[in-house]
A and B are shown apart, each in its own frame.
Chain A
Amino acid sequence: MSSLVAVLVDGVAYGMLLFLSAVGLSVTLGLMRFINLAHGAFAMVGAYLAVVVVGAGLPFLLALPLVFVVVGIFGIAIERTAIRYLYRRSALEQVLFSIGLAFALGALANLIFGPQQQGILTPAWLTGRVALLGLEITSYRLFLIAMGAATAIALIYLFEHTLFGARIRAAVDNRRAAEGIGIQVERLFALTFGLGAALAGLGGALSVEMLGLDPAFALKYLTMLLMVVAIGGAGSIEGSLLAALGLGTVDALFKYLLPEAGGFVIFGLLVAVLLVKPAGLKGRVA
């Protein structure tokens, strides 16, 4: 019984990791309507950056905000130079551009760091175990759960209760009217895209410990992130949280109870949800 609870904690921690990485994609996909298949690549950039700066001696906890800011700036730079011209183009062109970006970044990582797996040094207090309610839980898992919960609350607050959030929603619903009342949509979109990239980078940095890191990371991870967004419904923070936690726990449970089923259950779940609810659990109907 207690091992089942431990598996569930594992699943929730994995789910929070997925949420952290996927929520930025949900925002670009759902609110900005840009199909960003390079999102996993942003996560990869964050992961490599974290490995490098932690390797150079920066404390893990300081590396995280650094990664957040640097990948965010990188995202804004890409948005300003290329992506802003693609908002009005077809889904296919967005797919092509972003896959191209993902391939190029993956190849660059391969050139710079080589094809081997990278590890990250996490501080001792994160690798230990904590006794909680009679259970031994890795403190890294607890840390992930806390990070995920804090990010979810912050994002829901940002999008639902601040002027920034209101402006974003206005700009998405009616760009022309939003511009008409003086909202600087261009700047708003650049910032939002940067926020999405920054979150991806943070998620990537946090995932090195659990998932490992190599140049194939960008595309491997992307499938999982797209599934979170698809099941949760693009553009909904709560949806992403629900879907990520659901996927995480289902994945952990089946790995524990029925290992042969493997990835099957997850993908089966995706197809089932999309059959019943094509827009996802909490999706806005386009």
Chain B
Amino acid sequence: MSALNPISHGGLSKPALSFNPITPLIFAALIASYFLFPNHLALATQILVLMIFALSYDLLQGHAGIVSLGHAVFLGLGAYGSAILARWGFTDPLFGLMAGASISALVALVLSPIVVRGSDFTRLLVTLGVASLIHEAANRMRDLTGGADGLADFEVAPLLGLFAFDFEGRTAFLYALIVFAFVYAALWRVTTSPFGLALRGIRENPRRMPAIGSPVARHLAVSYLLSGAIAGVGGALLAQTSRFASLDMLGFERSAEIVMVVTLGGTGHIAGVSIGAAAFGLVKDALSTVSPRYWQLGLGIVLMASVFLARGGIGGLIERFCRFGRRA
């Protein structure tokens, strides 16, 4: 990647990693939505899952510079993992989250040698190929996954044994919000750590990093593992809160969608990506109630335009705005 690509750049010197004033605003808005839209908590919960998924992919693409067309695999594995375990009687939600994370992390570990090496092009193909493989596997193993019908016949125990999941989706929303907060904080911590800086260094110049003693392949593998695990958490959360796990959760369209979400949100910018995911989820819901056809058309046009217009995405806009505020 050359210096000519501002989209893939947060830039090392920019304060994109600093704890900016947008973060409290995001959480304020999320908490406010609980009180303002009590009838739309199911949608809000889904959007929180999308935000978690987007953050997990951003670690990969925005920080480590690995592009993937198969990230939904980890979301799907987390969803199926927790759903299948719940069917077997392991209904504790927190256990399900752990299990979802572990299964996805395990698969990421197995795949990391293939993904870590190679150019952007081979990565895109390998991730796409592996994703198709896993999709096909899930489709075949009807007994385990329910095939094309998906899994819906599983219970989720009350959270911590205390808070049952209610019909209004209040518990589900608060649960998702807390998980999101954890993921947000963890990723903020990881990306500002020396490890996170090393990842950015690798993204900017993979040839120079080994020269300063950075174990490039291992760093990339760890980021892939971590990213997979967080996506697995998102998937488990999705299955638990929607009481459903299905093939489309690991399909190509989800993978393509998350690449767009992260890019529109502003790669490498945690707050920007979160806001981008929320906006995307809202717009998608609004448009697809009108017509899924118009949704796809609009999506395509926005994507094409974004490559030419929205450089840096929402995160870039935030940075510009903050800098403007500081100067004034």
A interface list, Cβ under 8 A from B: 29, 35, 82, 85-86, 88-93, 95-97, 99-108, 110-111, 219, 223, 226-227, 230, 234, 260, 262-264, 267-268, 270-271, 274-275, 278-279, 286
Contact = CB atoms under 8 A, between A and B. Distances in A.
A278 B122 contact: yes
Given A91-B120, A230-B122, A275-B114, A97 B129 contact: no
Interface stretch (B32-40, B207-215, B301-309): B301-309
Contacts of B122: 230, 274, 278-279
A103 B296 contact: yes
A230 B125 CA distance: 7
Contacts of B129: 227, 230, 267, 270-271, 274
A234 B99 CA distance: 39
A101 B304 contact: yes
A101 B300 contact: yes
B300 A104 contact: yes
Interface stretch (B77-85, B133-141, B185-193, B233-241): B133-141
Contact of B300 (A86, A88, A107): A107
A32 to B, nearest CB: 13
Given A103-B299, A278-B117, A278-B118, A89 B128 contact: no
A103 B294 CA distance: 11
A105 B297 CA distance: 7
B235 to A, nearest CB: 21
B301 A104 contact: yes
A85 B136 CA distance: 37
A35 B124 contact: yes
Nearest to B120: A91
A219 B307 CA distance: 20
A271 B128 CA distance: 10
The interface centre, meaning the residue of A90, A263, A278 with most chain B CB atoms within 10 A of its CB, is A90
A38 to B, nearest CB: 10
Which 6 pairs, one residue from A and one from B, show the smallest C-beta to C-beta distance?
A104-B300, A100-B303, A103-B300, A91-B120, A107-B297, A107-B296
A96 B303 CA distance: 6
Interface stretch (B160-168, B170-178, B252-260): B252-260
Given A103-B296, A274-B129, A97 B114 contact: no
B61 interface: yes
Contacts, number: 142
B130 interface: yes
B294 A95 contact: no
Contacts of A90: 1-2, 5, 7-8, 120
Interface string B138-162: 0010000000000000000000000
Contacts of A270: 125, 129
Interface residues on B, range: 35 or more
A274 B308 CA distance: 33
A248 to B, nearest CB: 17
A267 B303 contact: no
Contact of B259 (A95, A101, A234): A95
B307 A104 contact: no
B285 to A, nearest CB: 17
A103 B253 CA distance: 10
Given A96-B259, A97-B307, A223-B128, A262 B300 contact: no
Identify whether the interface residues of B are mostly helix, strand, loop, or mixed: helix
A102 B125 contact: no
A100 B140 contact: no
Given A102-B300, A107-B296, A108-B297, A271 B307 contact: no
Contacts of A103: 296-297, 299-300, 303
Given A260-B140, A278-B122, A92 B117 contact: no
Nearest to A263: B136
A263 B61 CA distance: 28
A133 to B, nearest CB: 35
Residue among A86, A234, A271 with the highest chain B CB neighbour number at 10 A = A271
A107 B1 CA distance: 32
Contacts of A227: 125, 129
Given A35-B121, A93-B7, A110-B296, A274 B126 contact: yes
B304 A97 contact: yes
B184 to A, nearest CB: 23
Nearest to A93: B307
A7 B283 CA distance: 48
A247 B313 CA distance: 40
A104 B130 CA distance: 26
A91 B187 CA distance: 25
Contact of B67 (A92, A100, A230): A92
B293 A92 contact: no
Given A100-B303, A104-B300, 14 more contacts: A35-B121, A89-B5, A93-B7, A100-B307, A101-B300, A105-B300, A107-B293, A219-B252, A219-B253, A260-B140, A262-B140, A267-B136, A274-B125, A279-B122
B262 to A, nearest CB: 10
B18 interface: no
B304 A82 contact: yes
Contacts of A105: 300
Contact of B125 (A86, A104, A226): A226
A88 B307 CA distance: 13
Contact of A267 (B132, B299, B304): B132
B126 A271 contact: yes
- Most-contacted residue by chain A among B140, B260, B300 (CB, 10 A): B300
